[in-house]
Amino acid sequence: MATTTLSKIETIREDFPELKRQFHGKPVVFLDSGASSLKPLPVIRALTDFYSYHYANVHRGIYQLSEEATDLYEGARTRTAKFIGAPSERGLIFTRGTTESLNLLAYSLGDTLGPGDEVVGTIMEHHSNQVPWQLLGKRRRTVLKHVGVTDEGVLEMGDYDKLVTDRTKIVTVTHVSNVLGTINPIKEISKIAHDHGAVCIVDGAQSTPHMPVDVKALGCDFFAFSGHKMCGPTGIGGLWGREELLEKMEPFLGGGDMIREVHLQESQWNELPYKFEAGTPNIAGAIGLGAAVDYLNHVGMEWVARHDEELIAYGMKRLHEQKGVRLLGPTDPKKHAGMLSFWLDYAHPHDIAQLMDSEAVCVRAGHHCAMPVNERFGVPATTRASVYLYNTEADLDAMVRAIDKVRRLFVR
């Protein structure tokens, strides 16, 4: 019997059942992983298996099922911590995702700041790394400053010299921009923060899915990420922080499991990481995230990063061949991860995305929850194609064919 050997990418695609769907008689082309990635079978199976055979609350029951659930939950924490290079799992807090992780910091760390203390962000941040610092400013009268972005879509590194001073307590930056795709020099930024006695917070929502991450090598103090963008379930993510800093911070939420003792007027907190995990956690989500981490480790994050870079290079080439396309972000694919955001001279991104949908091509159109960076580039919105480990050059060809169709419709 003849055997067929599937290529690596074909094998990966087999793991994602959603890729087998068709719309309007055409196979789905999923180019919106920047918003949320598709889920592979091992993650889906881990969730079903947990709910079918091991389900119980964690850290509470002295019976076999609860102990199994606790082992699965804590095992997922250990593997997730290792995945991002964390020195130990004590510093890895499970949250709902990047948004909650950054809000936790803006409260628990932010509330140690006082009037006139400064937070330095950038104009390319997602709203979840802008708004919590604005809210902090209202509560504590802190000052929020922003590093700019060049026309090429990279950070104005010289701005750090002007903006980071001895008043700066927090420097916060995205590892990868969700609009420009820019990969930021975190090591350098962490050093600038530390030279001024500030802490460095990194939004890793768009880097963790796409490249090997090692928080020790990055030199940052806190690192936030979301499970659903890296093959895991929704409603789960993480915040890694240096233990000595987390120890000093007050809890974000109060409730069960985050306490050691409760009295009528005061309480004592549980040890790390539980001090920051109030209430029944997203147990299944964490177990699913553990399975996603195993899946990505099995594929190999070096491979994922290389595949990503090749697709970005190919997508750039194809888009540059089109008339009237303005592509945002760095032109060097090595400095550009995960997504291609563009503006077409002749059609609005919402019309483009709708027309692409009729070709079964899924892209995102809009401001991508990062309005200030759209403003910087003078566009109200962009069309964004974001790639992941299951995408192929053929997917980008399908998108380009759809652009051709848009042009024929809008340009007379």
- Binding residues for ligand C6P, rule: CB under 6 A, are 34-35, 97-99, 126, 128, 174, 178, 203, 205-206, 226, 364, 368-369
- Tell me the two tokens of residue 395: 């997917």
**Minimum separation from the CB atom of position 291 to ligand C6P (A):** 18
Which residues lie below 8 Å from residue 245, measured CB to CB, with a gap of 6+?
109, 199, 221, 222
CB of 225 to ligand C6P, least distance (A): 8
Specify the residue for token string 């109030």: 278
Strand stretches in 168-302, DSSP E: 168-174, 199-203, 222-226, 237-241, 259-262, 267-269
Rounded distance, CA 26 to CA 17, Å?
A: 15
Minimum CB distance to ligand C6P, residue 34 (Å): 5
**Rounded Cα gap, residues 28 and 47, in angstroms:** 25
Residue 237 or 290: the one with the smaller Cβ distance to ligand C6P is 237
User: Letter for the amino acid at 218?
Assistant: L
Residue 34 or 91 having the CB closest to ligand C6P? 34
Both tokens of residue 162? 């002007």
Q: Which residues, at least 6 apart from 183, have a Cβ–Cβ distance to it below 8 Å? A: 175, 176, 207, 211, 330, 335, 336, 337
Range list of β-strands (E), 140-234: 143-147, 168-174, 199-203, 222-226
Helix H or strand E segment including 92: strand 92-95
Q: Which is nearer to ligand C6P, 69 or 361 (CB)?
A: 361
Catalytic residues: 369
**What is the C-alpha R_g of the chain?**
22
The Cα 169–Cα 135 span in angstroms is: 16
Residue (69 or 339) nearer to ligand C6P, CB: 339
CB of 131 to ligand C6P, least distance (A): 11
Find the shortest distance in angstroms from Cβ 70 to ligand C6P. 26
Q: How far is the CB of 290 from ligand C6P (least distance, A)?
A: 18
Q: Where are the alpha helices (DSSP H) in 207-282?
A: 215-218, 243-248
Which residue number, 59 or 153, has a Cβ lying nearer to ligand C6P? 153
Nearer to ligand C6P, 122 or 392 (CB): 122
**Of all helices (H) and strands (E), which one includes residue 126?**
none
Q: In this structure, what DSSP letter does residue 175 have?
A: S
Assigned token pair, 232: 């895991």
